[in-house]
Structure 1
Amino acid sequence: MKLNTKGQVTIPAELRRKHGFAAGDEVSVIDDGGVLRIVHHDDLTTGQRAVLRVRGSAGNGPATDDIMAMTRGE
């Protein structure tokens, strides 16, 4: 598959049929830890969308023990 100049890609017909996608369906594209997932928009709860949106975004901040020490003034 190739991404076109508009950033679009065609999902092959066999995969659309297998996963129940049809013309006009609302879909969401989710960044799931560096892997893009295309899902039916209605299949996700608000909480699931929020978790997927922030998954893997914490980075390499201070360790929990260091944060606890800072909040205690140690």
Structure 2
Amino acid sequence: MSTLTVTAKGQVTLRKDLLKHLGVHAGEKVTVEKLPDGRIEVRAARPAGSISDVFDFLKRENGPSLSIEEMNEIASQGWAGKR
């Protein structure tokens, strides 16, 4: 069992061993669920959905999917700050 300290701002920092146990790295999120009797449950937030959900982003509104060349052009414009 671990004891954590609440700061004056009402924040709690989880130690590295707890984050490692959750499988959470810097910048990732955790979910907190309120349970009865003043308890909480902390879990690593995992994205919902599947990899196939992103495939629709590559489709044009009324046509076929983008070609590799078209995707590369869009990506290069984005990196150049033109999009």
TM-score (norm. length: structure 1): 0.48
Larger Rg: 2
Q: Which has the higher contact order (CA 8 A, sep 6+)?
A: 1
TM-score after normalising by structure 2: 0.44
